Chain A
């Protein structure tokens, strides 16, 4: 800034606030929330005259570090186990970022406070930055990392892959349906304020421990913008709270947003941090420890709880249940095991766990080996093609799970699975809260109240449906997850790049055909379905079949 102080400059630009005199702007995006015009202050106090040079300076640092990494041969020290998971992460994340940019105009329409629009516009620009800077980082990995497969076709892969579809909730959820539910509660109040801590702070730290200091360089630069976005959400939330009629919707949306973020972000980032790392120092934090610090203490206790006095109904039960899922029910371990089971339907290579990994898991999560150790030993045993099938088609005491219709992560904590006939279709849900989300929250009425602007859960939400009855070789080929020799698969259940050790479409050809659990569920009689559910709820942990003697 020049001579003018930031506060003075910010005060001056408030004179730009517009009160329509001849035409009211077209209101494209609806909300069931009501807002009274309130004199809430723009929390960002950002003026573009200082903003642009600041961001340019941040860019200089990021791109300087990237040049340095290449000149310094960073990739000679990068752990492949880690970078393979970035093929998934960096194919997903540019879309949520750009979707966050797209969600800001929804707030212009819904929140009648011109002063807040200034902060929302700056967030829009920030998000364009984040999306393109991340897409550029992926490009750098593609150019300089040993195995570009999976990076080079990432956006096609991401749009085809079931993991990508799970990740898309963290994008479409920002821009569709009720404007406040989507762009304020789901995006800024929960996703950005709570879960970007694990995404953009905890995960980059793990990257650095695995020899990759570019992910921290880019994502810490991104995270330094997030604090502004958090302020945006907070100001809107306070405005919403000032109207008594909004409380029921706020309670609904906080429950949905919290639970969905937990299901999606903890599944993905938990897996990256716990199963994508080679850093097994006993004193490095586990994902559970990070979660306790970043999300439970920093978000829940420090941010959310104080809002209770303003009348916000906090989903205490869901916060505790999320913790229970991570700490007692092994949610992250179950997800990682499922990703590895389905390695053949993905586009990155998944390294097996070693004795050193086992020891660390047992230290951090006592009892881990008894639950998951044997399965990972089987994974290693079946990693190289040697006349057997991929692990998903071998008998390793693992029942292929049904998918949750709402969050689309499979129903991995088997005892929690519920099902219901909704919109003429039997659906399985990973937890009662996901059932509630689909069957009750995303509906035109909620607890007797009209909610005409609420969105809908749509689409072909079970990936397996599209490939019901297909041969696995055709599935992989159809998705395009094949390398440039036309037969070697992009995905592998190991890190060995010797072509003789890599799985090909020929290996897939002899596998049993893929079956859609949901199609099969809907073909059952009522009695069969009840028996199926009773059996399913007795399965696990680690996907084990229900005990026969119970």
Chain B
């Protein structure tokens, strides 16, 4: 054996980091800040007595020069605006007209004395959305949907569908996927850069996520039906969406929501307060889900129902929590209320006109749902209730 050959009887030790006992766990020593009271994020005031996990992972992640951002925003747009300008909506929350601290040579940080400095920071998403809630919720939905559809497929449930119902689903249920997709991407996601706090923008991003998921749920359901039902035309939804007269009103309003000029508040308000109850729920709950059972279809309502739950239990919930308090704002209640009433006057007639163009769909299936006028009344009542929740007057235009 030469000296360069290793001796098999003395194997070389593997090079790995060695564990070391450091005793660096909480409570090992006493010193300033070692007490349990020091083990909480202490830079914000919780909305309730005890700060929540959601608040801990969300609040103050998006900085604010009126809080602790002492050197200010360090990048600006060409027009001079920087960070998350509060004027990216016409809505106002108390304190926003107060100027930013005038920092400069020798001024120090000029930290806020009375957090949160302005009312926008008081918003908390009642759904408490962060990554764990986001994935748990949506993973549960897609798992349940997959099982429902799979079960129906195994049970040959689609064989029970009448030809007219097949046409209805391929055209109309199919067409709805486009609305969810456009709202998800080009209204909710498109505005999640614009809100004044991390809580607003995260709520918009998560709302967007649910919409995009629901759009894809419908698209993939459509694909399954194409595979399972002889003669089911998987592309008919495109023709309906692009050409059917009864879809053009809803499409027009939906596209108008993407075109709201530089006001995230108006876009989100118009989508979740006006469009959703007067067009979304009208179609999903008061037409599709009411019609399906009578036409031998117990599957489509479970797919639609998932989207309906998204809106009714989560999207609307954060929207009320976001916009409602602005109408009772200690400084700008009248301003905000006037603005929102104006938005209602602008958007409600468009939504009602679109709803009425959808009326022929109520006659297309063999087994008819409750009358269109009754369905619309139900949608209007629902909408009026939302207005009350927001402390807004039901607009005159609802009588149209």
Contact B24 A145 (CB under 8 A): yes
B interface footprint on A86-112 (CB within 8 Å = 1, 0 otherwise): 000000001100100111111011000
Whether B220 pairs with A13 at a CB distance below 8 angstroms is: yes
Give min CB distance, B268 to chain A, whole Å: 13
Interface bits B297-319 vs A (CB < 8 Å: 1, else 0)? 00000000000000000000000
Which A residues from 461 to 500 make CB contacts under 8 A with B?
Answer: 461, 463, 465-470, 474-475, 478-480, 483-485, 488, 490, 497-499
Contact A48 B76 (CB under 8 A): no
Q: Is the CB of B37 within 8 A of A484?
A: yes
- Asked if residues A466 and B205 are in contact (CB atoms below 8 Å), the reply is no
Given known pairs A12-B223, A469-B106, A478-B109, the reply for A483 and B33 (CB within 8 Å) is yes
From A22, A79, A143, contact of B26 by CB (8 A): A143
A154 to B26, CA, bound (A): 18
Contact check, B69 vs A16: say whether CB atoms are below 8 A apart: no
Q: Which one of B21, B142, B205 contacts A101 once the chains associate, using CB atoms below 8 Å? A: B205
Most B CB contacts (10 A, CB to CB) among A13, A73, A281, A454 go to A13
Looking at the complex, which one of A175, A177, A478 makes contact with B193 (CB distance below 8 Å)? Answer: A175
Given A108-B185, A172-B73, A460-B70: A497 in contact with B213 (beta carbons within 8 A): no
Q: Are A53 and B142 in contact (CB under 8 A)?
A: yes
A146 to B186, CA, bound (A): 47
Pair B255/A56 contact, Cβ less than 8 Å: no
A237 CB–B CB distance under 8 Å: no
Residue in contact with A160 in the complex, picked from B68, B143, B181, B238, CB distance below 8 Å: B68
Closest to B242 in A: A21
Task: State A166–B213 Cα separation when bound (angstroms).
Answer: 37
A198 nearest CB across to chain B (Å)? 19
A519 to B104, CA, bound (A): 11
Residue contact A18 to B219, C-beta cutoff 8 Å: no
Q: Are A497 and B139 in touch, CB under 8 angstroms? A: no
Do B193 and A159 touch (CB < 8 A)? no
Report whether A466 and B107 are in contact in the complex, using a CB–CB cutoff of 8 Å: yes
For A50-84 the 0/1 string (1 means CB < 8 A from B) is: 00110110010001000000000101111110010
Task: Report how far A500 CA is from B31 CA in the complex, Å.
Answer: 9
Segment from A121-129, A309-317, A323-331, A383-391 that makes contact with B: A121-129
Tell me if A173 is interfacial: C-beta within 8 Å of chain B: yes
Within 8 A of B (CB), among A194-238: 208-211
In the complex, whether A448 has a CB less than 8 A from a CB of chain B is no
B237 to chain A, nearest CB (A): 7
Known contacts A48-B138, A55-B135, A128-B205; decide if A173 and B237 are in contact (CB<8 Å). Answer: no
Whether, in the assembled complex, A304 has its beta carbon less than 8 Å from a beta carbon of chain B, the answer is no
Query: B75 to A108, Cβ gap below 8 A?
Result: no
Neighbour of A208 across the interface among B17, B83, B139, B219, CB < 8 A: B17
* Beta-carbon contact of A146 and B259 below 8 Å: no
Q: Which of B200-236 contact A (CB under 8 A)?
A: 201-202, 205-206, 208-209, 212-213, 215-217, 219-220, 222-224, 227, 234-235
B156 adjacent to chain A (CB < 8 Å): no
Q: How far is the CB of A467 from chain B (nearest CB, A)?
A: 6
B1 at the interface (CB under 8 A from A): no
Chain B residues, Cβ within 8 Å of A146: 23-29, 34
Asked if A103 meets B193 with Cβ closer than 8 Å, knowing A79-B24, A484-B32, the reply is yes
- Shortest Cβ distance from residue B29 to the other chain A in the assembled complex, whole angstroms: 5
Q: B139 and A128: CB pair below 8 A?
A: no
* Assembled-state Cα–Cα distance A162/B27 (Å): 31
Query: Which B residues are CB-close (under 8 A) to A156?
Result: 43, 60, 67-68, 111
Among B15, B131, B146, B252, the residue within 8 A (CB) of A283 is: B15
Query: Which residues of A lie under 8 Å from residue B56 when comparing CB positions?
Result: 135-136, 139
Q: Select which of A28, A129, A131 is within 8 A of B194 by beta carbon.
A: A28
**A15-67 CB contacts (< 8 Å) to partner B:** 15-16, 18, 20-26, 28-30, 47-49, 52-53, 55-56, 59, 63
Interface string of A276-289 (1 = CB under 8 A from B): 00110101100000
Question: How distant is the Cα of A479 from the Cα of B68 in the complex, in angstroms?
Answer: 9
Given known A23-B255, A177-B78, A467-B106, contact A159–B69 (CB-CB < 8 A): yes
Question: Chain B's nearest CB lies how many Å from the CB of A58?
Answer: 8
Cβ of B49 < 8 Å from any Cβ of A?
A: no
Q: How far is the CA of A3 from the CA of B221 in the complex (A)?
A: 12
Q: Which one of A139, A461, A497 lies within 8 Å of B31 (CB-CB)? A: A497
**How far does the alpha carbon of A499 sit from the alpha carbon of B215 in the complex, in Å?**
59
Q: Which of A461, A468, A475 contacts B74 (CB 8 A)?
A: A461
Min distance, Cβ A274 to any Cβ of chain B, angstroms:
15
Instruction: Report the Cα distance A172→B75, complex, angstroms.
Output: 6
Q: Which of B58, B72, B142 has the most CB of A within 10 A?
A: B142
Among A24, A106, A133, A211, contact of B22 (Cβ-Cβ < 8 Å): A211
Complex: how many Å from CA A169 to CA B74? Answer: 7
Chain A residues closer than 8 Å to B111, beta-carbon distance: 156, 160, 478, 480
When distances are taken between beta carbons in the complex, the residues of chain A under 8 Å from B69 are: 159-160
| Residues on A with beta carbons closer than 8 Å to the beta carbon of B37 | 484
**Is the CB of A452 closer than 8 A to any CB of chain B?**
yes
Which B242-287 residues sit within 8 Å CB-CB of chain A?
A: 242, 248, 251-252, 255-256, 258-262
Q: Does A510 sit within 8 A of B, measured CB to CB?
A: no
Contact status A155-B60, CB under 8 Å: yes
For residue B94, CB closer than 8 A to chain A, the reply is no
B41's partner among A77, A142, A455 (CB-CB below 8 A) is: A142
Among A9, A16, A144, max chain B CB count under 10 A is at A16
Q: List A contacts of B63 (CB < 8 A).
A: 95, 155, 159, 168
- Establish whether residues B68 and A59, one from each chain, have CB atoms under 8 Å apart when the complex forms: no
Given A95-B61, A461-B71, A128:B220 Cβ within 8 A: no
Minimum Cβ distance to chain B for residue A224 (Å): 14
Q: Which residues of A contact B74 (CB under 8 A)?
A: 165, 168-169, 172, 408, 457-459, 461
Q: Is B132 an interface residue (CB 8 A)?
A: yes
Contact B57 A53 (CB under 8 A): no
Q: How far is the CA of A152 from the CA of B224 in the complex (A)?
A: 51
Q: In whole angstroms, what is the CA distance A146 to B28 when docked?
A: 6
As a 0/1 sequence over residues 492 to 521 of chain A, the CB contacts with chain B under 8 angstroms (1 = contact) are 000001110010000000000000100100
Check A153 for interface membership: any CB of B closer than 8 A.
yes
Contact partners of B238 in chain A: CB under 8 A: 15
CA distance A25 to B183 in the complex (A): 11
Contacts A25-B259, A75-B24: A129 and B131 contacting too (C-beta < 8 A)? yes
Instruction: Name A489's closest neighbour in chain B (CB-CB).
Output: B32
Report yes or no: B25 in contact with A76, Cβ–Cβ below 8 A: yes
Is B33's CB under 8 angstroms from A132's CB? no
In whole angstroms, how far apart are the Cα atoms of A8 and B119 in the complex?
48
Given contacts A48-B213, A48-B216, A159-B70, contact A468 B61 (CB under 8 A): no
Residues of A contacting B25 in the complex (Cβ-Cβ under 8 angstroms): 73, 75-76, 144-146
| Chain A residues positioned under 8 Å from B106 (CB to CB) | 465-470
Task: Please list the residues of chain B having a beta carbon within 8 angstroms of any beta carbon in chain A.
Answer: 15, 17, 19-29, 31-35, 37-43, 53, 56-58, 60-63, 67-78, 80, 82-83, 103-109, 111, 130-132, 134-136, 138-139, 141-143, 145-146, 149-150, 177-178, 181-182, 184-186, 189-194, 198, 201-202, 205-206, 208-209, 212-213, 215-217, 219-220, 222-224, 227, 234-235, 237-238, 242, 248, 251-252, 255-256, 258-262
Nearest 3 interchain pairs by C-beta:
A483-B32, A75-B25, A159-B68
Ordered by A's residue number, 21 sampled pairs between the chains whose C-beta atoms are within 8 Å are: A4-B227, A21-B251, A28-B194, A47-B220, A49-B213, A94-B61, A128-B130, A146-B26, A146-B34, A152-B38, A159-B68, A172-B75, A176-B82, A177-B76, A177-B77, A284-B17, A456-B75, A466-B105, A469-B106, A470-B108, A483-B33
